Amino acid sequence: MHIGIDFDNTIAGYDSLIRLIAVENGWIENTLPGGKRNLRDTIRHLPDGEGKWMALQAEIYGPRMGEAVLIDGVGKFLQECRDKSEKVSIISHKSKYAAAAPGGVDLREAALAWMEGHQFFPDSGFGLARENVHFADTRGEKCQRIAALGCDLFIDDLHEVFADIDFPVSVEKILFETEPGMAVGPEIQICTSWSEIRARVFGEDRGSG
Ligand SMILES: [Mg+2]
């Protein structure tokens, strides 16, 4: 089995970091309730909200990438893939530089350094081959890469990826969606946690592939 996984907000989590930066800038009170969608919408509705949101993106994926967290359950999933010798590719739609900081930090290098820091590459860690990490400039290119690499299934937090015209039809789609209420087509399996993804992928019903 060849398992493809998205990176931002699927493997690396930014929710608390976004909240922290928004509070540091005095954009929100730390007591603002709700999940990531509410937080994002609140920031975007501020004066120059789009500008603030873009600046924040440049921060979290660039200089402050180190503060992103490994999402709960990802580690256990990747260890199981390693133990079962399932091939894993990480395929991320990530530009080299943030739109709001064109001369700034190389976002792809920042992501790779973060993976290194979280033991993605050594055999004693998740044993992922570095050449199995792919970055695409556009969503279409990402989908074409998923097809070209021959992934059997793909895990992503954005249903728009699965809806893309270039997303390969034969690839199984798992949407990692922690907030309830997302309406998607029957061809997409929604999982609200990585333990649920693990059960779905390695459950009794599908054997070891
Ligand atoms: Mg994502």
The rounded Å distance from CA 156 to ligand 1 centre is 6
52 with 114, same domain: the answer is: no
Q: How confident is the model over 1-53, as pLDDT tens digits?
A: 999 999 999 999 999 999 999 999 999 998 888 778 889 999 999 999 999 99
Q: Both 178 and 79 in a single domain?
A: yes
> 83 CA to middle of ligand 1, Å?
25
The answer to whether residues 21 and 52 belong to one domain is yes
Q: Do residue 7 and residue 29 come from a single domain? A: no
Q: Which token pair is 129?
A: 């081959």
Spatial distance between the Cα atoms of 171 and 152, rounded to a whole number of angstroms: 5
For residues 24 and 61, membership in a common domain is answered with: yes
Question: What pLDDT, in 10s, does the model give residues 141-172?
Answer: 999 999 999 999 999 999 999 999 999 999 99
- Residues 117 and 164 occupy one common structural domain: yes
How many structural domains comprise the chain? 2
Distance, in Å, from the CA atom of 170 to the CA atom of 83, rounded to the nearest integer, reads: 26
Any residues with CB less than 8 A from the CB of 70 and at least 6 apart, and which? 11, 12, 13, 118
Q: How far is the CA of 69 from the centre of ligand 1 (A)?
A: 14
Q: Domain containing 92 — which CATH number? A: 3.40.50.1000
The domain boundary residue, chosen from 66, 88, 108: 66
pTM reported for the whole predicted model: 0.93
Q: Are residues 166 and 136 in the same domain?
A: yes
Q: Look up the domain containing 31 and give its range.
A: 15-66
- In tens, the pLDDT along 53-96 reads 999 999 999 999 999 999 999 999 999 999 999 999 999 999 99
- Angstrom CA distances, 195 to 47, 72, 179, stand at 39, 9, 15
Q: Are residues 122 and 76 in the same domain?
A: yes
